[in-house]
Amino acid sequence: MRHLALWFWRLRGWKFVGEKPAEKRYIIIAVPHTSNWDFILFLAAAAAFDIPLRYIGKHTLFKWPFGGLMRRWGGIPVDRSAAGGMVGQVAEAMRASEEAALVITPEGTRGESEFWKSGFYRIAQAADVPVLLARDDWATKVVELGPWIHPSGNVKADMDRIRSFYAGVVGRHPERQGPMRMKEEA
């Protein structure tokens, strides 16, 4: 599967830059997320870097006919109506795992949104795990694993570092990209 994914994307002109993280437990934020193709591209990148990804998806994606496939690809179904306890549950699962690479799209949707979802940040803090920044740039056809962020509690300063890594990145549908900010940056 790994070789097939790499062959497909490389045939289409994509490069994968970075190396397999040495960390065992971490969160990867994948930006931008303007198309379902971003998800498929990040799965290929995970294969390229030999990262066994886990991801959170809305529970409706895990029904027939794709439910089994979504779980096999590392999906964790969540009911968004019970979001209040989701951060704690996911953080606990991260702490309990010997090895876990949880990918989250902080934009929260494939459409433009005013704010990023802060779950990635809050889960990282609660689980005491770092955040790996990853980007897929459709203008340059490069998927890159970037720097690590260890959430400091100073959301504005941490987001400034995050914004600097993603500056200029173009999504598949650039018109769907929103501002890179969280409500907590006040």
pLDDT tens by residue, 125-151: 999 999 999 999 999 999 999 999 999
Domain annotation covers residue 141? yes
The Cα-based distances of 75 to 38, 93, 101, 170, 175 in angstroms read 15, 13, 12, 26, 28
Amino acid 172: pLDDT: 92
Domain annotation covers residue 98? yes
User: What is the DSSP secondary structure assignment for residue 116, as one 8-state letter?
Assistant: B
Of 5 and 32, the one with more pLDDT? 32
Task: Count CA within 13 A, CB hemisphere, residue 180.
Answer: 22
**Domain CATH code at residue 142:** 3.40.1130.10
Amino acid 129: pLDDT: 96
Domain annotation covers residue 10? yes
Domain annotation covers residue 179? no
Residue 113 tokens, joined:
């949104």
Write out the residue range of the structural domain in which residue 8 sits.
2-172
Q: What is the pLDDT of residues 50-86, one digit of tens each?
A: 888 888 777 888 899 989 988 887 777 777 676 557 8
Domain annotation covers residue 134? yes
Domain annotation covers residue 180? no
Domain annotation covers residue 177? no
Domain annotation covers residue 114? yes
Total tally of structural domains belonging to the chain: 1
